[in-house]
Amino acid sequence: MDRNTDVGAVRRQVEDALTDLGGDHLCDVLLVVSELVRNVLDHTAGPGRLRLARARNPCQVVVEVDDSSSLDPVRGASRLGESRGRGIMMVEDMAHRWGTKPRPGGKTVFALLRCGGVRMAANACDVTTR
């Protein structure tokens, strides 16, 4: 991902990769992807990378976004009528677990969304955008 990345195109790629998810779960995943990708584009100087991993039975998806900043995402304090500042709060509300992991040259922000109670399987896909 870079400054020219179209978040809508990223969402379509994710939707194509996760065609068998239930509608509600897919909507949750797409919203989390949008928020984490938008954070990379809005708040970091360098490129980013999106990864998805999933279990099929029962369904759970891990969304990971690498970026070039060592700073943790900030929970916004938006005011009534403002359209910004709620992204991480929504991720926090939708994810079973979310957080950050340091990595060389930046960090990874991750969110685990699940519909069941089983550990993540080894099924993974890599959604790379240019």
d(Cα 91, Cα 108) in Å, to the nearest integer?
Answer: 15
Both tokens of residue 35?
Answer: 């928020």
Write down the pLDDT at residue 54: 87
In a domain, 115, yes or no: yes
Q: How many domains does the chain have?
A: 1
Write down the pLDDT at residue 76: 67
In a domain, 108, yes or no: yes
Write down the pLDDT at residue 125: 42
Q: What CATH number does the domain containing 32 carry?
A: 3.30.565.10
Write down the pLDDT at residue 16: 93
d(Cα 44, Cα 121) in Å, to the nearest integer?
Answer: 31
In a domain, 57, yes or no: yes
In a domain, 2, yes or no: no
Three-state DSSP at 82 gives coil
Domain that holds residue 58: 7-127
d(Cα 60, Cα 25) in Å, to the nearest integer?
Answer: 9
d(Cα 63, Cα 4) in Å, to the nearest integer?
Answer: 21
Both tokens of residue 27?
Answer: 């909507």
Digits of tens for pLDDT over the chain (130 positions)? 787 888 999 999 999 999 888 788 889 999 999 999 999 888 888 789 999 998 777 678 999 999 999 988 877 665 555 555 677 888 988 899 999 999 999 999 999 998 743 333 333 344 443 3
Tally of CB atoms within 10 A around 11: 16
In a domain, 83, yes or no: yes
d(Cα 93, Cα 115) in Å, to the nearest integer?
Answer: 14
In a domain, 1, yes or no: no
Q: What are phi and psi of 27, to 5 degrees?
A: -60, -40
Write down the pLDDT at residue 88: 85
